Structure 1
Amino acid sequence: MSNVEVEPVAVRCGAREGVAEGAPVEVITPRDVPLGGPRAMTVRRTLPQRARTLIGAWCFADHYGPDDVSETGGMDVAPHPHTGLQTVSWLFGGEIEHRDSLGSHATVRPGELNLMTGGHGISHSEVSTARTTVLHGVQLWVALPEEHRHTERDFQHYVPESVRSGGAGIRVFLGSLAGSVSPVRTFTPLLGAEIVLDPGASVTLAVDPAFEHGLLVDEGDVRLAGHPLRPAELGYLAPGRAELTLANESAGAARTVLLGGPPFEEEIVMWWNFIGRSHDDIVRAREEWQNASDRFGAVEGWNDEDRLPAPALPNAVITPRRNPPRR
């Protein structure tokens, strides 16, 4: 998904200390971001924010829907660029047609992972399908480490099986959890899983203590490590825990997305749809996109004039924004 804010925030993050081991759950509340004009779909953005910019290499999290596309217009994002990242599309409802400059043409469906590697440069489009009536899901970005940030474009599709653990159904789309392992390649260790808790159910899951974790609640009232989380909130836990306990306090099922990874130690710069290591990286990527450089290729089925133009650059050099210091 493109970040189509007219004035995107310039963020520099990473290479920072996290919260102390054993610290309580940190609750991150989303901010609403409209994706376009008056009929645009609004997303709830939990990463990046001033309070926290990264969870492992996860650097961007948009949560949207359920949206009636007859009212919002659904998703209609023309070709736009990415650098230095992987995009992770995960739907709960509806469908999205994906096309990219690698030549990929795929339909994003609920319960199916679509992961695109931008690397040195890629462009893609995302449009909700004609048969979609309600659109609902998450769009996530993963920062690529320095040694891989100029890697070649790539696209992977994977359909994870649902496994049961106690009163929970789990689909692991990246990494491993509850005995389920995703074969999808990433460039840093990661965990990504949809966890649906039965009404009133509780589950304790073994996790990697070297990982920090974030639990995004889609539906239901959930307790993470004893702390209440409401829909659209994201609960953060620092490294050091070998187990996570999730409890559903709702009368119906509760749906969550669990993200994790070891703290990302590199400092990165994020602006619009680009991730680099310096302000100059961003300036160069924007200029090459605006000039239709071969760096980003072309998306079949779209004309050059359809391409999403880059916003104006900020008037100042990007300044660091760091997570809270270790206590």
Structure 2
Amino acid sequence: MQFDDDARLDPSQIEDVRASGPGPRRGGGGGGLPGGCALPIGGKGGGCLLLLIGVAALFLFQIIPTNLSGDEPQRTPQQSLPAPQGAPTGNLAARCQTGADADQSEDCRIVGTVNSIQAYWKQAFAERGRTYTPAKTVLFSYAVNTACGMANQAVGPFYCPGDKKVYLDLSFFDTLQRDFGAKGGPFAQAYVIAHEYGHHVQDLLGTMNRVGDDRQGATSGAVRLELQADCYAGVWANNAVRTGFYTQPFSQSEIDEALSAAAAVGDDSIQRRTTGMVRPDAFTHGTSEQREKWFSIGYESGNPGRCDTFTRGI
């Protein structure tokens, strides 16, 4: 991922609430699945469905914790937990100013990736006569308070419809590589982030409303929603250069990083790894093959119109 050295980064699209005190950082804690929080529940403005794929949760495959289920009063975005004592608040603004910074720092690379993804969707919406509303990415460690409730490392990256933010604990990427067998690498990170912003696009377009209570099973609305987000991630990858943040298209080895990450978090792959058997009736995200397929459809076409997973076979 080679950024244009002169590209101007916008760190204001990132909220950094990571604690800088003692404790495990990279490589610590449990992991989860991309697209963990995608479906609003409990009515409009309610909470969201968080899929926990931590060590304990794997035996049940899907857990909806009480404090994330919408049963408790939801906080507004203004009531989100403030940055922990010692968090590097404002540090990104000082360190991440240009594409050259993004080539030298993981944090700045995250900023540049988010900037590019949102620049693409702003263009895509405008071309279709719509207005794209940006969403912030919140970098956290250990735990974070959201409009969907309290979440911790075990949830993995997720999008919360309640406050329209993407939440990301960077230790997840170590878990993805170490425990789920993904290749890892910068573009694996970019794929996961682009997938979460795919959920934001679905939220803006009202696609989430098509899922209803159809949240589990091989052809469920939940699976179709996740595969569409994978496709949207591929669409961004195809169009990333035109956003002005990159100097050249992504290489095949970088695309392979995304495909490896997508395959690693397929329902069948996780079930087989953790229980030794595959239960399609418990699918929530799609198989490894489906996730690779839909990312590829988006990447090869570069057209979000090709990402209709709801009216065509998946």
By percentage of residues, which structure has more helix? 2
Q: TM-score under structure 1 normalisation?
A: 0.24
Q: TM-score under structure 2 normalisation?
A: 0.24
